[in-house]
Amino acid sequence: MRKTECLAMILAGGQGSRLGALTKKIAKPAVPFGGKYRIIDFPLSNCANSGIGKVGVLTQYKPLELHNYLGTGSAWDLDRKGGGVFILPPYAREKGADWYRGTADAIYQNLNFIDLTDPEYVLILSGDHIYTMDYSWMLESHKMNKADATIGVFEVPWDEAPRFGIMNTDKTGRIEEFEEKPPKPKSNLASMGIYIFTKSVLKKYLEDDAKNETSSHDFGKDIIPKMLADGLHLHSYAFDGYWKDVGTIESLWQANMDLIQEEPPFELHGEWRIYSSNPSMPPQYVGPEAKVCKSMITEGSMILGEVTNSVIFSGVRVGKGAKVTNSVILPDTVIGENAVVDYAIIAQNCEVAAGASVTGELGAIKVIAEGETVKADAEGKQVG
Amino acid sequence: MKTVMGLINLNEDSSLIRNLADRRAVESIPFAGRYRMIDFALSSMVNSGILNVGIMLPDEERSVLDHLRSGKDWDLARRHDGLYYLPSARVEKEARQGDLKNFYFNLDFIEHSSQKYVLLTSGSFIYNMDFNKILMFHQNTGADITMVYYTAQGEGTGKNVVLETAENGLVSDISEKPAIYDGSKICMAIYLMEKTVFVDLVRSAYEHGGQDFLLDGIIRKAEEYTMYACEHNGYVAHVDSEQAYYKANMDILRPEIWEELFMGQNSVYTKVLDGVPVQYKENADVKNSLIANGCIIQGEVENSILFRGVKIGKGVKIRNSIIMQKCDVQDGALIENVICDKNVLITKDKWLKGAPNYPLIVAKNMVI
């Protein structure tokens, strides 16, 4: 078996507390997105399509559904001889056990796994972004620049730059300075949380960082600034495709809506396939009185009412006379007859009873948590 | 069900469905938006707990091999048992006609399997069945051979095997009839028997000059063996002609049949393609239709079935039609009562129309 040149590690332990009701039972990377996917499908598919055959997935917060979803990795063609998907939750050692205390600590605690694989390079990814990217080009650039670390960067609008970790680079793209959420940014190149490290360098810095008791054990806050201070060669790798952080309800909703534009800014069709675990569902049935437009709908759904400007996952039922607009309906949820859903995200296995309504508004998307039932009261207003 | 091995006989007569079965086996004709015919028998076997399945390959085997591959999508890529391909006997330089020779030259595999029973099915019937019930029936009656039938509703034509049975299911007559009547008991080409019975029956029928499993193996030996028949009450379609194919697809547009076949306890599995969810654009108008993943719809679709990855342009009108995988229907085209085979390109503003009882069939890869 060919030696693994580049090992990918996906940080998938985040709680995603800003996603509120959607992450009550599952980790953020397992949150459904785009009609049939989950957020983690994007980095995993990117790995598979970039020719990276060995991927560690570091889990911590409510990991069971995520573990179950990942399975053997076969959905992403990552059930490979000598490679594939490795699920890496925190584990006990001689002197007790620790949680992952930060992004850098999570990787530090799995240095043994990295040593077992012994790659030249380690690609660090996070499990909460929607984008398609060929990591093999980034790796090429890392090698060509003979960099110690390469950081994926993305141009954000200047007025939003103060919300990001900003990289100040020279003309060649070499990073001179890193500023976390600068009030007066000198550049608008934001870190995407995608790093390629030369393994030997990464190992040294992680080991040093682990000994530092004042460190918060975070790549952005501790490791990268330390490397820059030591004069290491850190290079930026500019990405100019679609990239969306879906860490909040509004951004998750918006990213779903992006997919159903007449000319979507992000096209799922195409050579770069996004893989996902497939639930063996039949083609969707659209009934005689249904009306569907400007929407995305997945297998196994039955649509008898109206769906406009919405994303519908598998196994969803939309009853006769129901109206679903500007909303995202997650798998196996039932929207009863004559129910109204507008500006909402309705999680898995919910029921919006006949005649009930769930309405939010732009900027205040209504969220119904997994497994809940929304009943209709006498006036047809929602009470649940 | 661990004691039962499955055999799927892919040797359906294709003479009445040749426009769709040109260079592909009848059993690998695309069906209901994302399936192939064989998926139904195979999924029923897997869901019933059968772990060892032999596929009796037809001469046009490429389409079958390409679809099933390792059997992974049916959970049949296993260390032991799983999916096996039994090649047709043409490699044995056997000139005799019929499917019996295929069984005969593959008897080795069947004899050496560890299971006690053989469940033989065809791949040209559409159903979702629990075979455990058939095994229970078989064990209770003490039959040598158990067959499964459905009761015909209304009259029909086409070659069918009709059974006469006593109240307890004991078969008194089996015959091939050109027409069926309301209440006829139609054999679904599902046979369950002990492996030793199967091996003896095939060997003796073939060695006495037989050609056809049904004719020379079952019908001619009806006197020798005790045969019982068990009724299947669910939805059944026998797809042996183009009209039957069209009708069976249209049946799936009835929500109760869609529910029964696909949404019960037992899924129907097929080759996974990782298609994108269906995109309905601004002017999409879809009524009473079945749409598979990967489609992009900008026009009108009514009473129709769109397979995976079909593109429907602006101003297009599609009615009462079946549009197979990767067809591209460009702006302004009008299509009614048509079956488009895979990968057909219908250019702008073309009109295609068949008759309601005689759909127009457009061959694979055509450009119109």
**Could you list the mean pLDDT of each consecutive 10-residue stretch along chain B, which spans 368 residues?**
94 82 88 96 96 92 93 92 88 73 92 95 95 96 96 85 94 90 93 96 93 91 93 93 92 95 94 93 96 96 96 96 96 96 95 91 92
pLDDT digits (tens, 9 = 90+) for A57-107: 999 988 999 999 999 899 998 888 888 999 999 988 888 788 899 999 999
Q: Which of B280, B288, B290 sits opposite A297 (nearest CB)?
A: B280
Q: How confident is the model at residue A384 (pLDDT cuts 50, 70, 90)?
A: very low
- Report pLDDT for A383: 47
- Residues sharing a CB contact under 8 Å with residue A227, sequence separation 6 or more, in sequence order: A148, A149, A201, A205, A234
Which of B204, B197, B266, B192 shows the shortest CA–CA distance to B229?
B192
Q: Which residues pair with A73 in a beta bridge?
A: none
- Report pLDDT for B154: 85
Half-sphere exposure of A208 (CA within 13 A, CB side): 13
Residue A3, pLDDT above cutoff 90: no
pLDDT above 70 coverage of chain A, percent = 98
Contact yes or no for B282 and A262 at CB 8 A? yes
ipTM confidence score? 0.91
Minimum Cα–Cα distance from B284: chain A residue: A293
What single string gives the DSSP state of each residue in A148-161? SEEEEEEE--GGGG
- Report pLDDT for B15: 80
Chains A, B: CB contacts under 8 A, how many? 106
Mean pLDDT of chain A: 92
pLDDT digits (tens, 9 = 90+) for A255-306: 999 999 988 888 888 789 999 988 889 999 999 999 999 999 999 999 999 9
- Report pLDDT for A380: 45
pLDDT digits (tens, 9 = 90+) for A153-209: 999 999 889 888 899 999 999 999 998 889 999 999 999 999 999 999 999 999 999
Contact B302, B287 (CB under 8 A): yes
- Quote the CA–CA distance of B20 and A59 in Å, as a whole number: 50
pTM over 0.90: yes
Averaged pLDDT for residues A301-314: 97
- Report pLDDT for B155: 84
pLDDT digits (tens, 9 = 90+) for A213-230: 899 999 999 999 999 999
- Report pLDDT for B3: 95
Q: Which of A74, A285, A292 sits opposite B290 (nearest CB)?
A: A285
Domains of chain B (ranges, CATH numbers): 4-262 (3.90.550.10), 279-362 (2.160.10.10)
- Quote the CA–CA distance of B321 and B160 in Å, as a whole number: 27
Token code pair at residue B51: 């772990």
- Report pLDDT for B195: 96
CB atoms within 10 A of CB B78: 13
Residue with tokens 């039949």: A282
Residue A382, pLDDT above cutoff 80: no
Averaged pLDDT for residues A44-67: 93
- Report pLDDT for B91: 57
Beta strands in A164-304 (DSSP E): 165-169, 175-180, 189-198, 234-239, 243-245, 284-286, 291-293, 295-297, 302-303
Q: Tell me how close the Cα of A244 comes to any Cα of chain B, in angstroms.
A: 19
Contact list in B for residue A269 (CB cut-off 8 A) is: 276, 294, 296
Minimum Cα–Cα distance from B294: chain A residue: A269
Residue A28, pLDDT above cutoff 50: yes
- Report pLDDT for A1: 57
Contact B113, B102 (CB under 8 A): no
